[in-house]
Amino acid sequence: MNDIELIDAIKNGDKNAFRLLIEKYQDNLFKVSIGLLHNTQDAEEIVQDVFFQVYKSIYSFRQEAKLSTWLYRITVNKSLNLIRKQKRNKIVKNLSSFLLINDNKEIEFEEQDYAHPLKILELKETAKEVFAAINSLPTNQKIAFTLNKYDNISYKEISEIMELSLSSVESLIHRAKVNLQKKLIHFKNIDV
Amino acid sequence: MNCKECTEKLVFYIDKELNNNELNTMQEHLKLCSSCNIAYKQLCNKLSVIDKERDLIPNPYLATRILNRIENISYKSNRQQQRILQPAFLIFILIIALFTGFLVGNSYQTIANDNNSSVQTDDLFFNELKQENIELTLLTYENE
């Protein structure tokens, strides 16, 4: 069943078609989401939200864009919204801990920060450094890099998802890689 | 190729995005330069974290969880619809009952009015005749 047939079947109320849609795209959306959030639980939540939104608004989908493009766009937007929300929460929590209102919640937040499976392993420190480097990239660079690196999405499709020109996407990914390289190579022990 | 040029292109070397000429030059430089080789290994090690993260798969029950969530929400919305529709239906029935009541009441009144008016006109003639008769009888009785 291709995407158009899937959409038509879902619009006709076929629940099995919706399950097929989930099974077809959940891994891809999860990869993009985890690439932006670096937390499995959050990434799964985002994937759930994406499919829930798709279920609600499938009747308004006019098929002007590809289904996958539409799905990726929703995933990126939802992931970025969650990052913004988490940043706001972090500021509020830091502020409240600074004002000595609630110390316990600060500890809870730190524990939640270590929920990623890689962080439990010996790679913990390296993973932290790499994710911090990715997170420090400008938003557009981060989105383009994540879509390409985590899900091997072509530059053309990235340009459709981000509504940018192909050359802009190429430039974004190139700059993202250069910036990451600068942040990840430590020249202390290297004689350049 | 010097070390600066080499370290600038390391990430592209790892991603195999260099042309053949650049690739060969890089390979030669990395063989000869230990510091660039360390940088290369360091970067490879760090970027492998991305590969490992990319290989993570979501919970196998994710699809079921999503479908359950949708079912729950549509069930809840159905219940909500029922909660709104049930009283609305009852109010509608009540209004119809009241309206029917008024209609029946009004039509009964009209029939009653029609009947009353015909009775009155009949009675009027009848009474007038009667009165006339009584008056005539009384008058004739008085005269006698």
Model confidence pTM above 0.90: no
Q: For residue B137, is it within any domain? A: yes
Q: What is the pLDDT of residue A102?
A: 54
Is the Cβ–Cβ distance between B70 and A55 less than 8 Å? yes
DSSP letters spanning A48-68? HHHHHHHHHHGGG--SSS-HH
C-alpha pair distances (Å), A166 with each of A67, A163, A178: 20, 9, 19
Q: What is the pLDDT of residue A185?
A: 86
> What does the pLDDT look like over B80-95, one tens digit per residue?
777 888 888 999 999 9
Domain co-membership, B87 together with B47:
no
| Spans of all domains in chain A | 122-192
Window A:76-95, CB contacts with B under 8 Å? none
> What does the pLDDT look like over B8-34, one tens digit per residue?
889 999 998 988 999 999 999 999 888
Q: Which domain holds residue B22?
A: 1-58
Chain A residues touching B8 at Cβ < 8 A: 178, 181
- Partner A contacted by B61 (CB < 8 A): no
Domain co-membership, B135 together with B87:
yes
- Partner A contacted by B11 (CB < 8 A): yes
Fold of A122-192: Arc Repressor Mutant, subunit A (1.10.10)
pLDDT band for A192, please (50, 70, 90 cuts): very low
Domain co-membership, B143 together with B86:
yes
Q: For residue B132, is it within any domain? A: yes
Domain co-membership, B37 together with B95:
no
Does A127 contact B53 at a Cβ distance shorter than 8 Å?
yes
Q: What is the pLDDT of residue A58?
A: 85
The tokens of A29 are what? Answer: 């959306």
- Partner A contacted by B7 (CB < 8 A): yes
- Partner B contacted by A48 (CB < 8 A): yes
The tokens of B11 are what? Answer: 């990430």
What is the Cα–Cα distance from A42 to A37, expressed in whole angstroms?
Answer: 7
Domain co-membership, B54 together with B100:
no
Is the Cβ–Cβ distance between B11 and A180 less than 8 Å? yes
Does A22 contact B49 at a Cβ distance shorter than 8 Å?
no
Sign of torsion over alpha carbons B49, B50, B51, B57: positive
Residue B42: partners with Cβ closer than 8 Å, 6 or more residues away: A184, A185, A186
Q: For residue B122, is it within any domain? A: yes
Across the A:B interface, residue pairs with CB atoms under 8 Å apart total 109
Q: What is the pLDDT of residue A110?
A: 44
Q: How many structural domains are present in chain B?
A: 2
B7, B46, B62: residue with CB nearest A129: B46
State the average pLDDT over residues B63-72.
Answer: 87
- Partner A contacted by B38 (CB < 8 A): yes
Chain B residues touching A22 at Cβ < 8 A: 62-63, 66-67
Question: ipTM value of the model?
Answer: 0.77
What is the Cα–Cα distance from B63 to B57, expressed in whole angstroms?
Answer: 13
Q: How far apart are the first and last CA of chain B?
A: 160
Domain co-membership, B102 together with B144:
yes
| CA-closest candidate to residue A21, choices A32, A8, A6 | A6
Task: Classify residue A187 by its DSSP letter.
Answer: G
Q: What is the pLDDT of residue A166?
A: 95
State the average pLDDT over residues B57-68.
Answer: 89
Q: For residue B76, is it within any domain? A: no
Which range (A47-51, B57-61, B114-118) has the least confidence?
B114-118
Does A123 contact B57 at a Cβ distance shorter than 8 Å?
no
Q: For residue B73, is it within any domain? A: no
Domain co-membership, B54 together with B86:
no
Domain co-membership, B85 together with B29:
no
Chain A residues touching B70 at Cβ < 8 A: 18, 51-52, 55
What is the Cα–Cα distance from A148 to B66, expressed in whole angstroms?
Answer: 26
Domain co-membership, B85 together with B48:
no
Å from B105 to nearest chain A CA? Answer: 49
> What does the pLDDT look like over B107-129, one tens digit per residue?
777 766 666 655 555 555 555 55
Is the Cβ–Cβ distance between A149 and B50 less than 8 Å? yes
